[in-house]
């Protein structure tokens, strides 16, 4: 309860610029509590921070709150346990690093703070964004994005060792752009979203599923996916659409590559709106199961039949085999034997 004998120095200002190649290091506290951020930008503060490495043993590495504006540049941004970075409220932040990682926690948490949602802007450029297996966490989490919010993340490698690479919840607006490649147990999850546009331009390699949009989403929440999904271990369904609008361009592969004899489906459409631009589905069982209509604007290529309760608007190409009882022939021509010459 007494005054600490040694107190670390701190610095505060309305504007702060740091240049160089030094290292910021914040060790774990002896009471196992979370430390404050190495750098915290709040209110109307602004700054530019450049160094070789930011590292926190336990706590929040960097925080941008309220109307704070800041740019962070370096080679490594790491947290052993906690959040690597959080951007909240109307904050405006840019992160340029070679590698961003967290062994036990979240690399990025973009969310509401003192306001009812996130209205700001966050831009991240990093060769790798990695969440370790200890905390079972996602690489990027976005919560309560509102109209006017903008998130742009470019990374050659999003990795989550124990969960989804990208996770979004309770969003009602905003625009999110993800560019790169996703690796994880699962690729993308959205739930309880009433709006917002998510543009995902990334291949996905996952062990238990590619995209999952929960039934609590509404049709105003849109995910536009452009890339190739490869479910490495096979999942019951490679894509689960329960709610929201999902637009697809690219391909999905969800097969029993380990030879267990399990048959897997491609897409399970139990709700929401499914729109196909140009997409291929390679699977063991049925290409699309569930119920409702699928809008095909360009082309759909499948190697297994559609489920019996799936209808389509537009044409698709089926390259597999089926039983003649599954065939339905429309516009059956009338036999005309009157012509004897061609």
For residue range 81-105, what is the model confidence (pLDDT) as tens digits? 888 999 999 999 999 999 999 888 8
- Residue 228 in tokens: 């190739």
Q: How confident is the model at residue 259, as a pLDDT?
A: 74
**pLDDT higher than 90, residue 298:** yes
Residue pair 198/172 in contact by the 8 Å Cβ criterion: no
Task: For residue range 255-295, list pLDDT tens digits in order.
Answer: 987 777 788 999 999 999 999 999 999 999 999 999 999 99
Residue whose token pair is 């991240």: 124
Measured CA to CA, the distance from residue 333 to residue 330 in angstroms comes to 9
Measured CA to CA, the distance from residue 242 to residue 290 in angstroms comes to 10
Could you count the other beta carbons within 10 Å of the beta carbon of residue 33? 9
The pLDDT-based confidence of 336 (bands split at 50, 70, 90) is: low
- Residue 87 in tokens: 């951007």
Measured CA to CA, the distance from residue 266 to residue 255 in angstroms comes to 9
């Amino acid at each position: 309860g007494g005054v600490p004998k040694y107190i670390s120095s701190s610095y505060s200002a309305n504007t702060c610029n740091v240049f160089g190649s030094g290292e910021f290091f914040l060790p774990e506290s002896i009471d196992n509590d979370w430390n404050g951020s190495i750098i915290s930008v709040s209110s109307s503060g602004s700054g530019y921070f450049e160094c070789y490495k930011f590292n926190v043993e336990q706590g929040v590495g960097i925080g941008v709150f309220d109307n704070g504006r800041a740019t962070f540049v370096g080679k490594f941004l790491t947290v052993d346990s906690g959040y690597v970075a959080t951007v909240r409220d109307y904050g405006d932040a840019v992160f340029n690093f070679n590698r961003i990682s967290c062994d036990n926690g979240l690399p990025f948490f973009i969310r509401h703070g003192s306001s009812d949602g996130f209205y700001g802007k966050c831009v991240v450029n990093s060769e790798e964004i990695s969440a370790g297996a200890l905390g079972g966490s996602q690489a990027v989490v976005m919560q309560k994005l509102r109209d006017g919010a903008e998130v742009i993340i470019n990374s050659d490698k999003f990795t989550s060792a124990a969960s989804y690479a990208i996770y979004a919840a309770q969003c009602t607006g905003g625009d999110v752009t993800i560019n790169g490649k996703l690796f994880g147990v699962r690729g993308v999850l959205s739930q309880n979203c009433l709006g917002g546009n998510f543009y995902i331009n990334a291949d996905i390699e996952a062990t238990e599923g590619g995209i999952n949009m929960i039934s609590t989403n509404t049709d105003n929440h849109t995910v536009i996916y452009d890339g190739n999904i490869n479910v490495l271990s096979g999942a019951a369904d490679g894509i689960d659409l329960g709610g929201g609008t999902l637009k697809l361009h690219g391909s999905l592969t969800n097969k029993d590559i380990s030879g267990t004899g399990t048959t897997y489906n491609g897409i399970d459409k139990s709700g929401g709106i499914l729109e196909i631009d140009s997409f291929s589905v390679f699977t063991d069982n049925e290409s699309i199961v569930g119920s409702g209509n699928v809008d095909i604007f360009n082309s759909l290529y499948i190697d297994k039949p559609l489920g019996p309760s799936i209808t389509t608007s537009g044409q698709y190409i089926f390259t597999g085999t089926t039983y003649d009882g599954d065939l339905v022939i429309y516009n059956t021509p009338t036999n005309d034997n009157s012509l004897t010459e061609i």
